[in-house]
């Protein structure tokens, strides 16, 4: 991508009603556009980051046997009434609409019921189980207060997975397999070291705990108590002596921290399969209940979390795994056509080697180009200028390690590959 052809522009300030670091930096850098409170457009740079996060999540879900689907956004009222989740008194953040004939529909906020309804047609016997099925899709929730940029929106991108098991033992196996995959996702995103599996309330569906994955951050909405030796935490909402005893954790071994929830996994037991009449026939020909689990990761939320964690006063610093481009090539030719051609040739050579490049070929001052590069946050940067030409090297910098040094073209290509 040549930056001169990129229709987005950086800006010196974010909208005054945006107070979170992630929304301010993402808007200023031209990654997102605010449509309304809690609703954001992903512009070309932002979409590249979002798709890179999806790739990581999709890869780890597929590795554990997940099968990807795409469910509908419009939901029939009937299946939700069977589980008592249509009434606003039970679930108060629905968006609802009507067909012209008056039929009421829900706008997808979660998909337990629809997954059971769809997969139920294909589950007859014990031979059809277990199943891990997931989707990556926009969700819509009528939040009373949409705040914190991408961390809490009314429209957002989510990966939701659902497991269907024959026995409690089989369910637990699937549940832990997904938990392990989540850790690999966070490691690949660069936040694994500051993310903890956190015991939380199981809600109305189970007497067990649910599990949140919380990333340490001072701006987090959740208070958690962390046991670093065991690499686990407890959400404040269930922080009682009874919980500590059940988990065999001593209060003195815990440290209080703030966390941002970056994922959750939840035992659903048989609530949805039983309500929708989906069972399987065992080896003896007898009908048995199906045990479910659900597993969510907010894809667009993770984009915001990465900016909160890695953003600086100058701008974003993307982890390599999700950066919109591998390298930012900055040309400072100052009208020197020979130097300009050398920069263009390098751009084309990098592309030919499969390296994704954002090439700042604009006719702009050096200070403007460097400020924009800092704001956009691509971790690797190459600068071609009269100064580097005189030294016979290219200026290479790594924003993650803060290294800046002169290197040959061959040395830089080796680093980037």
For position 13, what pLDDT does the model report? 86
| CATH number of the domain bearing residue 402 | 3.40.50.800
- First and final C-alpha spacing in the chain: 18
User: In terms of domains, do 284 and 334 share one?
Assistant: no
Query: Domain boundary at 310, 338, 361, which?
Result: 310
- Does a structural domain hold residue 269? yes
- Domain assignment present for residue 2? The answer is no
Tens digit of each residue's pLDDT (9 = 90 or more) over 54-86: 999 999 999 999 999 999 999 999 999 999 999
Helix residue ranges per DSSP H, 353-407: 366-376, 386-391
The more confidently predicted of residues 334 and 136 is 136
Task: Tell me, yes or no, whether 245 lies in a domain.
Answer: yes
360 found inside a domain: yes
- Give the residue from 285, 310, 335 where a domain finishes: 310
Residue 269 shares a structural domain with residue 172: yes
Same domain, residue pair 94 and 163: yes
Q: Which residue has the tokens 């922080």?
A: 239
How many domains is the chain built from?
A: 2
Residue where a domain stops, chosen among 279, 310, 341: 310
Residue 203, pLDDT > 80, answer: no
Claim to verify: residue 276 and residue 337 sit in the same structural domain: no
pLDDT above 90 as % of the chain: 92
Instruction: Round to whole Å and give the CA distance between 325 and 192.
Output: 22
- Assigned domain for 315 exists: no
For the segment 256-292, what is each residue's pLDDT rounded down to a tens digit? 999 999 999 999 999 999 999 999 999 999 999 999 9
Q: Are residues 354 and 296 in the same domain?
A: no
pLDDT confidence band for 19 (50 / 70 / 90): confident
**95 in Cβ contact with 74 (< 8 Å):** no
- pLDDT for res 335: 85
Could you list the beta-strand ranges (E) of 67-103: 67-69, 74-76, 95-98
Do both 207 and 270 map to the same domain? yes
Claim to verify: residue 134 and residue 249 sit in the same structural domain:
yes
Q: What is the CATH number of the domain that holds 67?
A: 3.30.930.10
In this structure, what token pair is assigned to residue 72? 């509908």
Q: Where does residue 65 fall: left (phi above 0), alpha (psi -120 to 50 degrees), or beta otherwise?
A: left
Look up the domain containing 359 and give its range. 327-416
344 and 301 inside one domain? no
Residue 334's pLDDT is: 86
Quote the CA–CA distance of 320 and 131 in Å, as a whole number: 33
CA distance 155 to 258: 25
Residue 48 has pLDDT above 80, yes or no: yes
Closest Cα partner for 139 from 151, 117, 154? Answer: 154
As a whole number, the mean pLDDT across the chain is 95
Instruction: Dump the DSSP string for 224-284.
Output: EEEETTTTEEEEGGG-SHHHHHHHT--GGG-EEEEEEEEEEEEEEETHHHHHTT-EEE-TT
Q: Is-contact 132 119, C-beta < 8 A?
A: no
Residue 389 CA to residue 339 CA, distance in Å, equals 8
pLDDT reported for residue 8: 96
At 212-257, the pLDDT tens digits run 999 999 999 999 999 999 999 999 999 999 999 999 999 999 999 9
Does 1 map to a domain?
A: no
State which H helix or E strand residue 70 sits in. Answer: none
Is the residue at 390 inside a domain? yes
The reply to whether 99 and 152 lie within a common domain is yes
Q: Are residues 345 and 293 in the same domain?
A: no
The 10 Å CB-count burial string (b at 16+, else e) for 158-176 is bbbbbbbbbeeeebeebbe
| Chain segment 155-173, per-residue pLDDT in tens | 999 999 999 999 999 999 9
Instruction: State pLDDT tens for residues 104-126.
Output: 999 999 999 999 999 999 999 99
Pick from 321, 312, 325, 259: nearest CA to 31: 325
Res. 146 pLDDT band, cuts 50 70 90: confident
Same domain, 219 and 348: no
More confident position, 417 or 30:
30
Given a cut of 70, is residue 303 above it in pLDDT? yes
pLDDT band of residue 205 (cuts 50, 70, 90) is low
> Is position 215 within any domain?
yes
Q: pTM of the full predicted structure?
A: 0.95
pLDDT beyond 90 at 147: no
Asked whether residue 338 falls in the same domain as residue 236, the answer is: no
Task: Give the H or E element holding residue 115.
Answer: helix 112-119
Round to whole Å and give the CA distance between 203 and 110. 16
């Amino acid at each position: 991508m040549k930056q001169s052809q990129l229709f987005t522009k950086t800006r010196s300030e974010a909208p005054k009603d945006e107070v979170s670091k992630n929304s301010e930096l993402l808007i200023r850098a031209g990654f997102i556009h605010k449509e309304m409170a809690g609703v954001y457009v992903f512009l070309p740079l932002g979409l590249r980051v979002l798709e890179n996060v999806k790739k990581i999540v999709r890869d780890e879900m597929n590795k554990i046997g997940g099968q990807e689907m795409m469910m509908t956004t419009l939901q029939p009222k009937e299946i939700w009434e069977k589980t008592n989740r249509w009434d606003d008194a039970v679930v108060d953040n629905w968006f609802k609409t009507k067909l012209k004939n008056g039929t009421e529909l829900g706008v997808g906020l979660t998909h337990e019921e629809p997954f059971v309804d769809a997969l139920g047609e294909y589950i007859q016997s014990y031979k059809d189980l277990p199943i891990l099925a997931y989707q990556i899709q926009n969700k819509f929730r009528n939040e009373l207060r949409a705040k914190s940029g991408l961390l809490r929106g009314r429209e957002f991108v989510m990966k939701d997975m659902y497991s269907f098991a024959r026995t409690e033992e089989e369910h637990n196996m699937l549940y832990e397999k997904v938990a392990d995959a989540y850790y690999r996702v966070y490691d690949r995103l660069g936040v694994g070291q500051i993310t903890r599996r956190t015991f939380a309330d199981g809600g109305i569906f189970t007497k067990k705990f649910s599990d949140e994955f919380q990333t340490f951050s001072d701006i987090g909405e959740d208070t958690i108590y962390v046991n670093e030796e065991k690499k686990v935490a407890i959400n404040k909402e269930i922080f009682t002596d009874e919980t500590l005893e059940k988990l065999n954790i001593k209060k003195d071994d815990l440290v209080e921290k703030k966390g941002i929830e970056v994922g959750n996994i939840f035992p659903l037991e048989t609530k949805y399969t039983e309500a929708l009449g989906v069972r399987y026939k065992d080896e003896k020909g007898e009908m048995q209940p199906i045990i479910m689990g659900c597993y969510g990761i907010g894809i667009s939320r993770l984009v915001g979390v990465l900016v909160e964690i890695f953003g600086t006063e100058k701008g974003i610093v993307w982890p390599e795994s999700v950066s919109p481009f591998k390298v930012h090539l900055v040309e400072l030719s100052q009208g020197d056509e020979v130097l300009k051609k050398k920069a263009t040739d390098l751009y084309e050579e990098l592309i030919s080697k499969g390296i994704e490049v954002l090439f700042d070929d604009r006719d702009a001052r050096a200070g403007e180009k460097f400020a924009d590069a800092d704001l956009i946050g691509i971790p690797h940067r190459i600068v071609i200028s009269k100064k580097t030409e005189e030294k016979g090297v290219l200026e290479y910098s790594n924003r993650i390690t803060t290294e800046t040094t002169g290197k040959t073209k061959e040395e830089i290509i080796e680093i980037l590959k």
